[in-house]
């Protein structure tokens, strides 16, 4: 008897195969450049094949006589991914990778009479497994398939999930996943076609691909609104008193009871009264406050702390967390849960981590306690919170992986600790008739902080000397001119939190949506600024089709898809609702197509120009180095905008993305006395590296020049 086991990723497939094989030595099978495994357990042959993500995707049926960008598009179909790559199959390795893998799934399924889906237990994993089975054995027979449900790639969980599988797939979860893909495709393809078609009728631009989605639209609109409020902000002058109390050669900052003065004459009167006067402690107040231990990590909490402590953007954090999961070091990261389940063997995890020197002393102390975990408000029936599995890394982790792993381990330790106790002291300091305050806090009891060195290191708890009532001090006061500040720009993590608060996107997709906005050149920088095309796109959509940018509409659709998962409504109800909404939106688009295109024209031209500029020309005044294309060879190169007066040019790679870095090569400045711009080159399937445009003319490589060309 043979069993087809569908896994999601090659590394997960290898681990699961090794665990399930009775001898822990599954046979590696190579066929058509596809690797899968043959294991034996309980008298059955297990054939484990990895899916490498989605092998099927949503597409649409093209009508004869219609152009490539005609809309509306409502007639959807699911197709193998390789079919979308068919036109480029001679050049595209992915075409063969996807096609060969599906061929193997089909071949293996024909010799099996049992089927198990062992993909990640979430919307995406459920959809991946279902679509493969539907293709291999037909939609009707999918009902006989079983489902392994696990939250970590540990031996205990994998064996348990295999021996006690769910008797059938979670079809509500599958329906929700299929619906989400189809809804996103309907919005994406129709809005992108409508936007792009509006640019094909312009005089200055023949074609410019523009895209927007149902979640990207409201998110970009929020970023644009924040940018407008920053640009429109008019700063107001104010003054504040910067003061110090002097004691035993040290200065302690004191704060005036009135923090801001909008009238300079008023602050001058206060400073005149206090001139050459001493400060007197007129009152002392002490109070205790507590900082409770953290709650267990869900994905959002992990992304928050990774940004706060290491400035890792949310997509990086998710990528690293998934890597740690595949290495069996942590539980499944795509979870909303903040409550440790009773079934989790806490003592076993801590005892296993005790073997690691770095954690031993903390584990020893924890094992002396009655381990009652703190808990948050959010739950997730699919997976527990993110916790360490207890496995010690067999191989060394890189710096980023180590930082994320330590966050997870120390957070896990911290949830069993007691609240940290602080003592706050507030001294009232009178200088003549004016009141100032000196405040400080002491950490009295570390509590859970002793289990979390990352948080403890960043904690400011500087105590004050024990001053007495009536004690007199010399003081130093001066005024500082300030200006009110505009609203802060969003960063990748704060806009992700805005999306979470407004219930748009999912825990798994929010970071990817932000990443797409960067890739499409709608936003830039870590402190996010919308680009000209991003600003213009939102202005146009708000004027003609504001429904696209509606948070309420997007949130409503998210809730409807969640109801599919709960079995409360059917997928077709949501799809029909979306089509009705799109008919109204696209009707407005069609009526104003020319006006929409004209409104976007200038920003598109400016975006083209900005993307081609590399930096200042080192050989002439006023010249700009730009990416240009030869009329004769059609190849690209970097040349000066002052041509033919200036003939400066540099060869560049014909493949890959080139990004200016707004800095200059130090070696060239020292060696040639000129400033040559630095660029980042991202070649296909390669790590990005930085280089100087003049690299080809460097006389020799030295240790100094190696710094100009490095992996990132």
How high is the pLDDT of residue 89?
Answer: 54
What SS3 state is found at 286? strand
Provide mean pLDDT across the span 160-167. Answer: 96
The residue among 479 and 207 whose pLDDT is bigger is 479
Q: Is 37 a catalytic residue?
A: no
Paired strand residues for 424: 287, 441
Q: Is the peptide bond before 644 cis (omega within 30 degrees of 0)?
A: yes
- Give the pairing type, strands 613-616 and 624-629: antiparallel
Domains, in order of start, for the chain: 2-169 (3.40.50.140), 177-231+509-604 (1.10.460.10), 237-287+420-447+463-481 (2.70.20.10), 299-414 (1.10.290.10), 617-711 (no CATH)
Q: Crossing angle for the helix pair 571-591 and 171-199, nearest 10 degrees?
A: 10
How high is the pLDDT of residue 396?
Answer: 83
Q: Which residues contact 13 (CB under 8 A, 6 or more apart)?
A: 7, 36, 37, 48, 49, 50
DSSP state string for 490-509? P-HHHHHHHHHHTT-S-TTT
- Give the pairing type, strands 250-256 and 237-247: antiparallel
Provide mean pLDDT across the span 656-672. Answer: 81
* Paired tokens of 415: 């949830």
Assess whether pLDDT exceeds 50 at residue 437: yes
How high is the pLDDT of residue 707?
Answer: 42
CA distance 121 to 534: 36
CA distance 104 to 107: 5
CA distance 389 to 321: 13
104-155 confidence digits (pLDDT tens): 999 999 999 999 999 999 999 999 999 999 999 998 899 999 999 999 999 9
How high is the pLDDT of residue 576?
Answer: 95
Locus of tokens 């060969």: 100
Helices within 531-619 (DSSP H only): 532-544, 551-565, 571-591, 593-612
Q: Please, which pLDDT band fits residue 711 given cuts at 50, 70 and 90?
A: very low
Q: Which of 121, 185, 208, 332 is catalytic?
A: 332
CA distance 579 to 319: 34
Assess whether pLDDT exceeds 50 at residue 181: yes
The residue among 220 and 663 whose pLDDT is bigger is 220
How high is the pLDDT of residue 157?
Answer: 95
- Mean pLDDT, the chain, integer: 90
What does the radius of gyration of the chain's CA atoms come to, in whole angstroms? Answer: 31
How high is the pLDDT of residue 631?
Answer: 77
How high is the pLDDT of residue 309?
Answer: 95
90 neighbors 144 (Cβ within 8 angstroms): no
How high is the pLDDT of residue 64?
Answer: 62
* Paired tokens of 161: 């999930």
Assess whether pLDDT exceeds 70 at residue 207: no
What SS3 state is found at 620? coil
321 neighbors 332 (Cβ within 8 angstroms): no
How high is the pLDDT of residue 58?
Answer: 95
């Amino acid at each position: 008897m043979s069993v087809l086991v569908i896994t999601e990723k090659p590394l997960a497939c290898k681990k699961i195969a090794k665990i399930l094989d009775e001898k822990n030595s599954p046979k590696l099978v190579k066929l058509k450049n596809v690797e899968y495994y043959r294991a034996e357990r309980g008298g059955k042959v297990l054939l484990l094949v990895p899916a490498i993500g989605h092998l099927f995707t949503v597409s649409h049926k093209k009508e004869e006589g219609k152009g490539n960008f005609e809309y509306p598009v409502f007639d959807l179909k699911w197709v193998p991914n390789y079919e979308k790559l068919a036109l480029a199959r001679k050049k595209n390795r992915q075409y063969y990778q996807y096609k060969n893998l599906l061929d193997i799934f089909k071949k293996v399924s024909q010799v099996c009479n049992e089927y198990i889906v062992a993909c990640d237990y979430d919307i995406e994993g459920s959809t991946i497994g279902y679509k493969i089975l539907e293709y291999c054995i037909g939609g009707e027979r999918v009902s006989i398939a079983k489902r392994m449900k696990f939250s970590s790639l540990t031996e205990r969980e994998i064996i348990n999930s295999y021996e006690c599988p769910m008797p059938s797939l979670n079809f509500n979860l599958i329906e929700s996943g299929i619906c989400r893909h189809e809804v996103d495709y309907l919005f994406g393809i129709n809005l992108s076609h409508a936007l792009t078609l509006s640019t094909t009728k312009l005089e200055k631009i023949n074609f410019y691909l523009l895209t927007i989605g149902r979640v990207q639209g409201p998110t970009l609109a929020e970023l644009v609104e924040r940018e407008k409020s920053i640009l429109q902000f008019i700063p107001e002058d104010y003054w504040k008193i910067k003061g110090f109390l002097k004691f035993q050669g040290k200065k302690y900052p004191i704060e005036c009871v009135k923090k801001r003065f909008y009238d300079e004459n008023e602050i001058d009167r206060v400073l005149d009264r206090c001139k050459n006067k001493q400060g007197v402690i007129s009152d002392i107040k002490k109070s205790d406050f507590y900082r409770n231990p953290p709650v267990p990590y869900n994905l959002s909490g992990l992304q928050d702390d990774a940004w706060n402590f290491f400035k890792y953007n949310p997509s990086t954090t998710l990528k690293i967390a998934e890597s740690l999961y595949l290495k069996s070091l942590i539980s499944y990261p795509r979870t909303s849960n903040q409550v440790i389940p009773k079934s989790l063997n806490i003592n076993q995890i801590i005892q296993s981590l005790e073997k690691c020197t770095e954690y031993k002393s903390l584990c020893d102390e924890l094992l002396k306690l009655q381990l009652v975990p703190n808990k948050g408000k959010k739950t997730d029936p699919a997976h527990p919170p993110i916790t360490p599995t207890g496995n010690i890394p067999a191989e060394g982790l890189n710096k980023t992986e180590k930082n994320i792993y330590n966050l997870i381990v120390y957070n896990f330790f911290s949830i069993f600790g007691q609240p940290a106790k602080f003592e706050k002291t507030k001294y009232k300091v009178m200088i003549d008739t004016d009141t100032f305050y000196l405040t400080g806090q002491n950490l009295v009891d570390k509590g859970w902080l002793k289990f979390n060195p990352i948080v403890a290191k960043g904690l400011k708890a500087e105590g004050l000397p024990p001053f007495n009532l009536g004690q007199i001090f010399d003081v130093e006061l001066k005024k500082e001119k300030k200006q009110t500040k505009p609203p802060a720009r969003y960063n990748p993590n704060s806009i992700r939190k805005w999306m979470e608060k407004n219930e748009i996107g999912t825990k798994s997709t929010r970071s990817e949506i932000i990443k797409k906005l960067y890739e499409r050149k709608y936003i830039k920088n870590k402190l996010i600024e919308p680009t000209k095309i991003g600003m213009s796109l939102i202005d146009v959509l708000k004027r003609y089709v504001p429904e696209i940018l509606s948070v309420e509409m997007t949130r409503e659709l998210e809730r409807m898809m969640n109801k599919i998962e709960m079995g409360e409504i059917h997928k077709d109800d949501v799809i029909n609702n979306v089509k009705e909404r799109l008919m109204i939106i696209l009707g407005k688009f069609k009526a104003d197509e020319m006006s929409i295109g004209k409104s976007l024209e200038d920003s598109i031209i400016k975006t083209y120009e900005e993307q081609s500029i590399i930096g200042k020309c080192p050989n002439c005044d006023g010249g700009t180095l730009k990416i240009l294309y030869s009329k004769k060879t059609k190849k690209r190169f970097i040349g000066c905008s002052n041509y033919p007066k200036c003939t400066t040019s540099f060869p560049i790679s014909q493949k890959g993305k080139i990004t200016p870095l707004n800095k200059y090569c130090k070696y060239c400045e020292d060696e040639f006395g000129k400033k040559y711009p630095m660029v980042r080159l991202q070649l296909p399937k390669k790590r990005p590296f930085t280089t100087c445009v003049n690299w080809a003319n460097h006389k020799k490589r030295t240790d100094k020049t190696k710094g100009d060309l490095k992996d990132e």
